[in-house]
Amino acid sequence: MSEDYRIHCQNIHRVQDMVVTEIRGYLKSMGKNIKEFNLLKITDDVNLQCALHREVQEEYKIVVEPEHLSARDSLNCDRKIVYDEIMMHVDNDRPGLFFIDGPGGTGKTFVYKALLAQVRSRGLIALATASSGAAANNMPGGRTAHSRLKIPINLNNNSMCKIKHQSGTAELIRSAKQIIWDEASMAKRQAIKAVDRTLQDIIGVRLPFGGKIMVMGGDFRQVFPVVKRGTRAQTVDSSFRMSPLWRVTKKMRLTINMRALNDSWFSDFLLIVGDGTEESIDENFIRIPDDMTIPFTSKENSIKELFNAIFPSIENSVCTLEYIASRAILSTRNESVDEIIDQMIDNFQGEEMVYYSFDEVEDDIHNFYPTEFLNSLNVSVLPPHKLRLKIGCPMILIQNIDPSRGLCNGTRLICKGFHRNSIDAEIAAGQHSGERVFLIRIPLSLFEDV
């Protein structure tokens, strides 16, 4: 890290201070304190004020794309009403709470991008968060809600987010004009209450979310928040509960005055609804058109035909970013995914690299869990024991490594090179598309209840 600074500065002590200061900034962005680590002390005042509010600087550095700034002109009538209503609160500096609800593909993310671009183009801060890393990566400057708002993992009805009043995150929240939270319907009720309680405390305003303009989005038709080994009552209790009063317009745009989280909280609720056009069978099924299916002959041949249909001429397009980023094969079970991946890797040309995990059990002095048994386990939240890679093959992250750089759960990458303990990769989609990153070996531990 010091080599870049040495080009512009010959004072070794000054270079040392600048490196430690940069490390401190990275640690602060990850919620850590440099005092927790045995590093060299800073001997000079190296841009201390800027380092304190690194989060604010990062938000101001987000580039507004022209296509997002002009997105309002492409909105249909219903979405323009949603956009104009929210922007009216921004223009008049009025607090507001909005929820945009609709199935996938109805344009929620498009509305978010238009709102973010408009607010940021005015020199204001708009925070983009989501309940999952993949959804956060779809928005410019997006971060997971747990990462950005420091939501604790273990929640109860009185939880608070881990944000100190003097921290950079607190200053960022105070400076934010608007906060967007995608897939909020997936978040637990206790998490939303914790954010509400924390923002009121940090901002010092006894209004919902401290008087900030909150835009929440999601789809209540999808899964409930996940409660491990929870009963139906516990799952319902953890969900984002509402008691809406509906008013339906002719175009199926629903404007709802709702009561949420507590009896004194009223707000505008804007709902986008999409309509299905596919003919149904027995009111429960739809028939998939023939041009969207591959006839089944045998398992091996069908997988091969599927691979050829999704990735044609893979030998000539292996290094093309657009080619890899625009294609994907989805499956319902991990076993099927492993079979498809093995066949896919075989079709790539070039040298193959195999990485193996180092599995162990803590405090297993009697060797009840031998290494061979641990290596045979295939846990969904951890990568496989044996990882095969070739140059140009697509990869996907299953952990949030560095959301600020686009390395979230669900981020798609392309393998560009191998090293003994790291992988050279290129981000294939999202705001950070085209950036080169290094994925290093990191220790991963399972919770006791996994």
What's the DSSP call for residue 407? B
Containing H/E element for 334? helix 334-347
What's the DSSP call for residue 75? -
Look-up of token digits 């691979």: 307
- Helices and strands (H and E) in the chain: how many: 17, 16
Q: 10 falls in which pLDDT band (50, 70, 90)?
A: low
For the 60-271 domain, the top CATH level (class) is alpha beta
Domain with CATH 3.40.50.300 in the chain: 60-271
Closest by CA position to 129, among listed 140, 118, 119, 121: 140
Q: 243 falls in which pLDDT band (50, 70, 90)?
A: very low
Q: 90 falls in which pLDDT band (50, 70, 90)?
A: very high
d(CA 423, CA 421): 7
pLDDT score of 91: 92
> Which of residues 324 and 273 earns the better pLDDT score?
324
State the average pLDDT for the chain: 78
Q: 447 falls in which pLDDT band (50, 70, 90)?
A: low
CA distances from 333 to 299, 342, 384 (A): 15, 15, 14
What's the DSSP call for residue 213? E
Cα dihedral 234→236→241→243 (10° resolution): -120
pLDDT score of 238: 80
Task: Kindly tell me if the per-residue pLDDT of 335 is higher than 50.
Answer: yes
Q: What residue type is assigned to position 147 of the chain?
A: S
Q: Tens digits of per-residue pLDDT, 343-392?
A: 888 878 778 899 888 888 888 788 888 888 888 887 776 777 888 888 88
Closest by CA position to 112, among listed 76, 83, 73, 88: 83
> Which of residues 105 and 76 earns the better pLDDT score?
76
d(CA 86, CA 79): 11
Decide: 364 and 324 in contact? Cβ < 8 Å: no
Residue 211, φ and ψ in degrees, nearest 5: 85, 5
Q: Considering the entire predicted model, what is its pTM?
A: 0.66
Containing H/E element for 21? helix 12-29
Q: What residue type is assigned to position 346 of the chain?
A: D
pLDDT score of 241: 56
3-state secondary structure of 40: coil
pLDDT score of 360: 83
Containing H/E element for 108? helix 108-120
d(CA 391, CA 349): 8
d(CA 115, CA 80): 11
pLDDT score of 1: 78
Q: Tens digits of per-residue pLDDT, 45-87?
A: 444 444 446 778 778 878 888 888 888 888 888 888 889 999 9
CB neighbour list of residue 358: distance below 8 Å, 6 or more residues apart: none
d(CA 403, CA 374): 30
d(CA 123, CA 169): 18
Residue 353, φ and ψ in degrees, nearest 5: -120, 135
pLDDT score of 89: 92
Helices (H), ranges, 225-326: 232-238, 299-310, 314-317, 321-325
Look-up of token digits 């401190």: 24
pLDDT score of 277: 64
Q: In whole angstroms, what separates CA 269 from the centre of its chain? A: 24
Q: What residue type is assigned to position 80 of the chain?
A: K
> Which of residues 18 and 69 earns the better pLDDT score?
69
Q: Tens digits of per-residue pLDDT, 287-318?
A: 777 777 888 888 878 888 888 888 887 766 55
CB atoms within 10 A of CB 411: 28
Helices (H), ranges, 166-311: 168-175, 189-203, 232-238, 299-310
> Which of residues 61 and 96 earns the better pLDDT score?
96
Residue 245, φ and ψ in degrees, nearest 5: -115, 115
Q: For the chain, how many residues are written?
A: 450
Q: Is 309 exposed, middle or buried (0-12, 13-18, 19+ CB in 10 A)?
A: exposed
Q: Tens digits of per-residue pLDDT, 272-290?
A: 444 556 667 776 777 777 7
3-state secondary structure of 76: coil
d(CA 84, CA 132): 27
d(CA 273, CA 257): 17
Cα dihedral 183→153→423→324 (10° resolution): -10
d(CA 32, CA 308): 47
Q: Tens digits of per-residue pLDDT, 119-159?
A: 999 888 999 999 887 788 788 888 888 888 999 888 888 89
Q: 118 falls in which pLDDT band (50, 70, 90)?
A: very high
